[in-house]
Amino acid sequence: MSQYSTDPAPTSAVATVARRRDWWRDAVIYQVYPRSFADSNGDGMGDLEGVRSRLPYLRDLGVDAVWLSPFYASPQADAGYDVADYRAVDPMFGSLLDADALIRDAHGHGLRIIVDLVPNHSSDQHEWFKRAVAEGPGSPLRDRYHFRPGKGKHGELPPSDWESIFGGPAWTRVPDGEWYLHLFAPEQPDFNWEHPAVGDEFRSILRFWLDMGVDGFRIDVAHGLVKAEGLPDLGAHDQLKLLGNDVMPFFDQDGVHEIYRQWRRILDEYAGERIFVAEAWTPTVERTANYVRPDELHQAFNFQYLGTDWDAKELRTVIDRTLDAMRPVGAPATWVLSNHDVTRHATRFANPPGLGTQIREAGDRELGLRRARAATLLMLALPGSAYIYQGEELGLPDVVDLPDEVRQDPAYFRGAGQDGFRDGCRVPIPWTRTGSSYGFGSGGSWLPQPEGWGELSVQAQEGVAGSTLELYRAALAVRRTQPDLGAGEAVEWLKAPEGVLAFRRGEFVCVANTGGESVTTPGYGRLLLASGEVSEADGEVKVPADTTVWWTTAS
């Protein structure tokens, strides 16, 4: 397997990747959901070789790094987030040789590779858990998970009142009478991070993939590893409403930070500026900042921003709070609009505000796309790093009318908890106007693609002036060439009409009109890019509703 830092014959692109300092502070990172990106063997499921074949597309798009959702050996009870073997590739995605080739080729294209790490829980088919169940109460393997006797006269009640994120109790009883904790699906038992073997194992897993050459890790459920002592009752109904709004006995416990300090010391042993990115649902951006202190992780997803409506006042509030929270710890802010767990923003913004991040209606698609394009230019203008979810550069909406019989989201079948409609943002993306699965692969797709999907494809948009794909390409190109874009700690807010955000960063100016009517603003210099049609006259610019404009004051 390759050692990234000692590649015997690096290309110029690899060399550039290896020596760029602090690349992660302003990186644009593209999330690939492997099963839905590209299928190389015609089995209807995306795979690593498919991703590898599309690396030139990602290079030309202009991103800096690729984050791969899990491709490890797994029974796929939760789309690979139930890992049975952290050092093996699931055959549905390929092999370790395919992973090695993908990493090498990505570096050859000047792209970095970030892989998902799932340390909160394993699959119930993980060898540790299978042995723990088989060996019964008192088995040393049970201490690596959270096994407990039940409450009630005969132990027939769960050990605590904790609820699963996917709905129902967070406890499942095994035949010998004990219960085990799973904050997600029953097929995903939680590790007990108080047991030293768990920490030892994950430090080894980190080194395995670092030695393979990966450039970093996205840490799944980074806020969940440590539970409150004694696993106390929460004493609350409808616990899901508290998620991200309060510190809970199973989330955002202070003990997680010592784990990440240990991990950071490992990462710093490796050349090439490898990074950690936290998926940390916390009550406030201030608590999120705890995960990115100088001796811990590098970035944390900004879920407060992702959940903000298309509203100038709300956006300004979360932008200011984010930048204020990150400044004391010296970490970059991150900005994200969509991912594999939420409704795509082209659909969210097509619906009335206040519905959250799981929406079941298509809404006004033209309005949603217009707002999505404007929101993207706003996001890419902010200081820090940005994340793009596959297909958003095509303006893809959620597929909200999938038949019940094709759905695979485990939350859908639990009957409570999350809405269970995450399948809608995971439908395989279209590459061509026609053909089997619109170019995804030669054998159909694991989730059905809607009629007309080809008109949103890469082929349909490539080279077409004004298309969403070309807007993304142009925005990322401008972002690279404008010295005042990318990393930074602050924005200078400018006076603007109600419903409009306007700010300056050095010689760069961004204006975003979130309102329903056109507004007239000063011309701030040379127009760089706009998400929609604008008109200039007599030193003023008419900015239509739901439009973002970039200027430079440089000559």
Residue type, 298: H
Strand partners, 335: 386
CA 524 remoteness from chain centre: 34
Task: Sheet containing 535-537: give its strands across.
Answer: 519-522, 540-543, 535-537
Q: What is the DSSP string of 512-551?
A: EE-SSS-EEEE--SEEEEESS--EEETTEEEE-TTEEEEE
Concerning whether 455 is annotated as a catalytic residue, the answer is no
CA distance between the termini of the chain = 50
- How far apart CA 195 and CA 205 sit, in angstroms, is 16
- Provide the angle, in degrees to the nearest 10, between the axes of the packed helices 96-108 and 12-19: 90
3-state secondary structure of 12: helix
- How far apart CA 291 and CA 278 sit, in angstroms, is 7
* Farthest CA pair distance, the chain: 82
Catalytic one of 220, 279, 296, 423: 220
Catalytic one of 238, 269, 405, 498: 269
Cβ contact 283:246 at 8 Å: yes
Concerning whether 220 is annotated as a catalytic residue, the answer is yes
Q: What is the DSSP string of 371-382?
A: HHHHHHHHHHHS
3-state secondary structure of 424: helix
Task: Sheet containing 179-181: give its strands across.
Answer: 147-148, 179-181, 171-173
Give the single-character DSSP code of 450. Answer: P
- How far apart CA 128 and CA 395 sit, in angstroms, is 43
CA dihedral for 285, 289, 291, 297, sign (positive or negative):
positive
CA 47 remoteness from chain centre: 19
- Interior CA angle at 69 toward 84 and 349, to 5°? 135
Q: Which residues contact 175 (CB under 8 A, 6 or more apart)?
A: none
- How far apart CA 329 and CA 331 sit, in angstroms, is 6
Length of the chain: 555
Residue closest to 178 by CA, chosen among 152, 155, 145, 144 = 155
CA dihedral for 20, 23, 28, 33, sign (positive or negative):
positive
Question: Can you tell me which residue has the tokens 């969509």?
Answer: 338
Quote the tokens at residue 212: 């393979």
The residues annotated with a catalytic role in the active site are 220, 269
